[in-house]
Amino acid sequence: MDLAGKKAAVLVEQMYQELEVWYPYYRLREAGVQVDLVGPEAGVTYPSKLGYPARADRAAGRVSAQQYDAIVIPGGYAPDYMRRCQAMIDFAQAAVDARLPIAAICHGPWLLCSTSGLRGRRATCFMAIRDDVRNAGAEYLDAECVVDGNLITARKPDDLPAFCRALLAALAGPGGPGE
């Protein structure tokens, strides 16, 4: 698949789940997508749950959703930290408002709970936050990957193949792979 010319933001913060950042990051790059790691501060290295470093290319407060064709919100405990940064919330809300493909896996929908992005939508997530997702207005489904329009959600690292296929199809647009 050649998605050259497309651009995606993968959000990072401390305590992220390693596979949920790096699997989509490299899968997107393999497809020709330019990928930025976006965190609260540019140039800061955020450690994963196991200490693996992710250095933010861009600061959330210094980019706009209009610069991207999609955003990825990984899990781990990073979304809890993302929700403590207004610039991260604002960036996610701007992506919701722009109707960009938003791919959130595991605890990733936690960030969306601080936006309007789950209201009236179908979504999945790690089971520990399903009540949060419901309380944010979504219909929770226990499924490998749920696609509701531009919203793509998955439960856990085992779901990454289906999650990434759905994300790549969304970036390809109507008639693209998976359509």
- For residue 141, pLDDT over 60 is answered with yes
| Residue 38 and residue 66 in contact, taking contact as beta carbons nearer than 8 Å | no
Which positions are catalytic?
Answer: 106-107
Superfamily of chain region 7-171: Class I glutamine amidotransferase (GATase) domain (3.40.50.880)
Q: What is the mean pLDDT of residues 110-137?
A: 98
Give the domain ranges of the chain: 7-171
| pLDDT tens-digit map of 44-98 | 999 999 999 999 999 999 999 999 999 999 999 999 999 999 999 999 999 999 9
Long-range contacts of 79-82 (CB under 8 A, 24+ apart): 79/13, 79/107, 79/108, 79/109, 79/110, 79/111, 80/15, 80/107, 80/110, 81/13, 81/14, 81/15, 82/11, 82/13, 82/40, 82/110, 82/111
